[in-house]
Amino acid sequence: MNILTPVQVGMIGMGVVGTGVARILVQHADRITRRAGRPIRLKRVAVRDTGRTRDVELPAGVISGDAADLIQDPEISIVVQLMGGVDLARQQILAALTHGKDIVTANKAVLAEHGTEIFDHALRLGRSVAYDAAVAGGIPIVSNIGQCLTANQITSLHGILNGTCNFIISKMEEDHSDYASAVAEAQRRGFAEADPRMDVDGSDAAQKLAILVQMAFDTQIGWRDIHRVGIDRLEPAELQLAKELGYRVRLIASASHGNNGLELQVAPRLVRIGSPLAEVRGAYNAISVNGDMVGTIFYHGLGAGQSPTASAVVADLIDTVVGRSAITFRTTGHWSDHEHSLPFADVAQTRSRFYWRITVQDDPGVLAQIAGALGQNGVSIATLIQRESVFDSVPGYTNLVLMTHESSEGAALAAETQLRQLAVVRKDTGIRLPVLN
Ligand code: HSE
């Protein structure tokens, strides 16, 4: 084959990211050809709505509504799967592999649900799956863990993996917006998933964490099994109070290998102001990775959006054309290898300090009851703030804001349950957030 024969590519889905991919391939064809050693040609693009006007002009006949035709086209050697959803995406990827195509995808949901099946199928057929765009958009975290850090045992990773949540929290913190208007603004700006509940309840971050955990710890985890807490109960006041205590709140997806096994969680956590994760604003993503040889590495960049995500997709496409994806994929086929799997820690055993806001009746002896419930469960108070009017102006009530010394999640939960049974505690308010050490 002539070295300049174009590689024929089929793309399924041409929404925000697909349009960005087409734009790079069309507008920067010379650069891409140099990097790939051959031209990369979008031969066919399958879309749901063929009547829609596109921002990038493609030759007549490229766009169609028929993904099956594209998958079976013998001239196409790589299928870029960018359509969202799970079931149809799974079928398309498996069928494309069966038809001898290599895959590039940005679909984290399908990998988090069916990664093992897809990877096994690809390995059996000698094909590759490249998915750097599926986690943290433009940040090359998948290729870094899969290629650059392979001399290490990763000991922990902590990430801001959902740009929508970070945007919402930053907005509430900086503009004192309330939660609902910050969510609406994120939707207007197009960061949010089609169903924004997946963003704000921590599911999207858990799916990305599950993918990283498989690579970093050689351990398979169903994303639904990751303990997760969303950001929907945060109030602007929480963010202001955290700031007064020297912290910001961030939705942190974390995996760390401790004495009790692999600790996994997605939760809003207090992060000390000045630390790199605390300074991540707006729709940015960031990941702090600790390797036993390299120490700590910090990645920061745009985790969603057209150009950053398309940058990752096209890099994967080039890697597939030059053969790098095939090598990496073969050597990092961890997904079905359970030999080195780590045991999971029970969430109740994970230890941290806690920020705690408790709304209580402003009466004599109340503080003693609160301290008693915490003390009986072995939770020790480090800092306590009570002001006459913090923000909850329900007559007769006040807010206690406290930071605890380190305790287990189990002990803190037991104390919380006991607190909720006290007549002096308001049940419909209050929040407890772990602190990132
Ligand atoms: N909704 C996701 C986010 C998009 O906000 O990070 C990228 O997965």
Ligand 1: nearest atom to the Cα of 192: 1
Ligand 1: nearest atom to the Cα of 108: 8
Ligand 1: nearest atom to the Cα of 134: 8
Q: Between 238 and 194, name the one with better pLDDT.
A: 238
Residue 295: phi and psi, rounded to 5, are 85, -145
Would you list the domain boundaries of the chain?
Answer: 7-130, 141-302, 348-435
Average pLDDT over residues 43-64: 93
Reply yes or no on whether the pLDDT at 338 is more than 80: no
Reply yes or no on whether the pLDDT at 340 is more than 90: no
Q: Which pLDDT does position 332 carry in this prediction?
A: 75
% of the chain with per-residue pLDDT over 90: 81
Under the banding of pLDDT at 50, 70 and 90, the label for residue 191 is: confident
CA of 177 to the centre of ligand 1 (A): 21
Taking the C-alpha atoms of residue 154 and residue 292, their distance in angstroms, rounded to an integer, is 6
CATH code linked to domain 141-302: 3.30.360.10
CATH code linked to domain 7-130: 3.40.50.720
Task: Quote the CATH superfamily of domain 348-435.
Answer: ACT domain (3.30.70.260)
Active site residue 108: no
Q: Which pLDDT does position 189 carry in this prediction?
A: 82
Closest residue by Cα to atom 7, ligand 1, is 304
Reply yes or no on whether the pLDDT at 2 is more than 70: no
Q: Which residues sit with their C-beta closer than 6 Å to ligand 1?
A: 137, 162-164, 191-193, 199, 204, 303-304
